[in-house]
């Protein structure tokens, strides 16, 4: 019998500690199959800071989540043990040290991880940790931006460079890489050429609109195949109408509904880990972004629960 969330018919949603979805802490269960962990770090941002407060805001918004997921016909907290692993505390003044700390923290948690950021820099150490267990992984990257730039101001480790570094380090299966939801202006056409050389295929936000969800989902599933896959969600993949609370917003993005439906369409793929990043509560209106991110995290937990149950 798995320990699930606090019963909201006995303890109101607005009472008690704000663990993710009101789940037990990791130290309150014998073993977790899926763990939600925060990384409150935003030293790698290039524009608006504030994502260090993302994990707390997403946990607070997740009080409204309920234990049955009708879209997937699944009660994830009954299928497997899910727990909140707290935060990985990192040095806010030293990016390289912070990256090492995140990698070590992820290594130390014996569960499939859904990580709440924090800025997108943290994807690199999370992929390092995943590759130790699974080898090079497929990647489905939801983002307004490519995040495959080389450097910013000469810095190699920022929220705009994690997937360039991951490819260089051999962490990614370069035959199974996809961006979803990209849009907006670039520094030049070379950005796209460099991205293509790394191995990424691109599904732009306009592609989602014009081609439709079913075709996009089918393309992603074919590209991933049966490989171990990591999903990385920058919340700015959503249009600012759906996610104003983020560091680098771009017009013309996905709706919350589109993002959630694409994620649900990936059910059954060999998901081994995921993150949701770039929630910056200071720019959030009425918790719109935090609420969206909490639902994204819930869907990712549910997809991982399916995979963990199948694996065992």
Is residue 234 a known part of a binding site? yes
Q: pLDDT digit string (tens) for 220-244?
A: 999 999 999 999 999 999 999 999 9
- Residue-by-residue DSSP string for 137-199: EEEEEE-SS----S-BTTBSSSTTSHHHHHHHTT-EEEEEEEEEEE-S--S-HHHHHHHHHHT
Domain ranges of the chain: 20-311
Proportion of the chain above pLDDT 90, given as a percent:
98
145 annotated to bind ligand: yes
Give φ, ψ of 14 to 5 degrees. Answer: -85, 5
pLDDT in tens, 168-208: 999 999 999 999 999 999 999 999 999 999 999 999 999 99
Please give the pLDDT value at position 1.
81
Annotated binding residue 299: no
The per-residue pLDDT for 83 is 98
Q: What is the mean pLDDT of residues 130-139?
A: 98
Confidence of residue 15 (pLDDT cuts 50, 70, 90): very high
pLDDT band at 153 (very low <50, low <70, confident <90, very high): very high
Say whether 236 counts as a known binding-site residue.
yes
Report the alpha-carbon distance of residue 23 to residue 41 in Å, rounded: 23
| Chain segment 248-301, per-residue pLDDT in tens | 999 999 999 999 999 999 999 999 999 999 999 999 989 999 999 999 999 999
**Does the annotation place 194 within a ligand binding site?**
no
| CATH topology for the 20-311 domain | 3.40.800
């Amino acid at each position: 019998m798995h320990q699930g969330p606090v019963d909201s018919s006995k303890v109101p949603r607005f009472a008690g500690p704000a663990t993710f979805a009101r789940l037990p802490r990791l130290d309150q269960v014998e073993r977790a199959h899926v763990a939600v962990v925060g990384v409150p770090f935003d030293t790698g941002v290039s524009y608006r800071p504030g994502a260090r407060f993302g994990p707390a805001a997403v946990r607070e918004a997740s009080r409204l989540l309920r234990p049955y997921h009708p879209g997937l016909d699944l009660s994830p907290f009954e299928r497997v043990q899910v727990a909140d692993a707290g935060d990985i505390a990192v040095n806010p003044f030293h990016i390289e040290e912070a990256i090492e700390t995140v990698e070590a923290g992820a290594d130390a948690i014996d569960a499939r991880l859904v990580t709440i950021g924090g800025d997108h820099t943290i994807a690199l150490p999370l992929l390092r940790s995943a590759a130790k267990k699974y080898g090079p992984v497929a990647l489905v990257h939801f983002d307004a931006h490519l995040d495959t730039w080389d450097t910013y101001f000469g810095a190699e480790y920022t929220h705009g460079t994690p997937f360039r570094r991951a490819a260089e380090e051999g962490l990614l299966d370069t035959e199974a890489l996809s961006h979803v939801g990209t849009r907006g202006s670039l520094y030049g056409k070379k950005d796209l050429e460099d991205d293509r050389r790394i191995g990424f295929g691109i599904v732009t936000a306009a592609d989602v609109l014009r081609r439709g969800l079913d075709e996009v989902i089918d393309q992603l599933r074919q590209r991933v195949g049966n490989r171990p896959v990591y999903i990385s969600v920058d919340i700015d993949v959503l249009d600012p109408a759906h996610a104003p609370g983020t560091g680098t917003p771009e017009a013309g993005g996905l709706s919350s509904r589109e993002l959630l439906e694409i994620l649900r369409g990936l059910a059954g793929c060999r998901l081994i880990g995921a993150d949701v990043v770039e929630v910056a509560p200071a720019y959030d209106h009425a918790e719109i972004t935090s609420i969206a991110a909490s639902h994204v995290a819930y869907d990712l937990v549910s997809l991982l629960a399916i995979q963990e149950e199948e694996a065992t």
